[in-house]
Amino acid sequence: MIKKISLFVVLLVVSLSVTASAAVGALVLDGSTTVGPIAKTFAAYFTKKYGVRVTVSESGSGNGAKSLINGSCTIATMSRAMKAAEIAAARQKGVNPVASVVALDGLAMVVHPANPVRSLTKAQISGIYRGTITNWREVGGPNARIVVLQRESNSGTEESFKELVIGKGVQITGSAETQSSNGSVKSRVNSTLPAIGFLGHGFVDGSVKVIAVNGVFPTVATVKNGSYPVSRPLYFYTNGQPAGLVKQFVDLPNSAEGKRMITELGFINR
């Protein structure tokens, strides 16, 4: 019995090592959950069209940057620009991060559909997130304590939000709940009447209500012309100027098909 088992194990190991061969030009994408839908759709399209395997992980923009610096992904998808510290770390390891813009994204402020509040100013949102406004009554809503939702520190969406709305270096209130992805913010808002959160534009659906910021709703037009105040570009980061397959992939947002996929997913073309 022991002999049989050990023989089996040896055989398996041998067959594994024999059949192991280098993968043919596979692309590895890692990073933002916001860029996730675009990355996954592009990956399926790319595999279908060129027969190249593309894998996508959604572990957050910060992880995407780390993976690129460690050389463990070919393209980092990020919902914020790389920070100076990350670029310095990359340079030290001989990695030269090059950004290309995939699409534009309006960060939608969302509340439960039952919430009668239709619009908030940037100052009001900032007050809510800093903890100076704690009841919906203070911004023209019903008498209910505001449940503030934020994203984890790894999230590019969180950093963009901080930068665009409450200002860099300002602390978000300690009572804010942290959610780990756009999807979980959406389901938390949908199940919590007095909640407020922010989502990438492509994640908005009928289960939550988008409110206007400074009186402007995030739409294709307002994000494109910059009148919606909370919008940001989404990036693909590569090591060095993209070439070959990587270039073909990174250039997808410029093609007619790529543009249509981005539109259908609810993001905004540059």
Point out which residues bind other proteins (CB under 8 A).
Answer: 1-2, 6, 9, 12-13, 15-16, 19-23, 26, 28, 30, 33, 36-37, 40-41, 43-45, 47, 53-59, 67, 70-73, 112-116, 141-144, 180-184, 186-187, 193-194, 202-203, 205-207, 257, 260-261, 264-265
Q: How far is the CB of 170 from other proteins (least distance, A)?
A: 27
HSE-CB at 153 with a 13 A cutoff on CA atoms is 3
Pick the closer one to other proteins by CB: 27 or 165.
27
Q: How far is the CB of 70 from other proteins (least distance, A)?
A: 6
Neighbours of 260 (CB within 10 A): 11
Pick the closer one to other proteins by CB: 19 or 225.
19
Pick the closer one to other proteins by CB: 67 or 222.
67
Q: How far is the CB of 29 from other proteins (least distance, A)?
A: 9
Compute the C-alpha angle 78/81/85, nearest 5°. Answer: 110
Pick the closer one to other proteins by CB: 82 or 195.
195
In 51-130, alpha helices (H)? 61-70, 84-92, 122-130
Pick the closer one to other proteins by CB: 177 or 264.
264
SS (H, E, C) 130-198: HCCCCEHHHHCCCCCECEEEEECCCCHHHHHHHHHHHCCCCCCCCCCEEECCHHHHHHHHHHCCCEEEE
- Residue 164 corresponds to which tokens in the numbers above? 């665009």
Q: How far is the CB of 108 from other proteins (least distance, A)?
A: 13
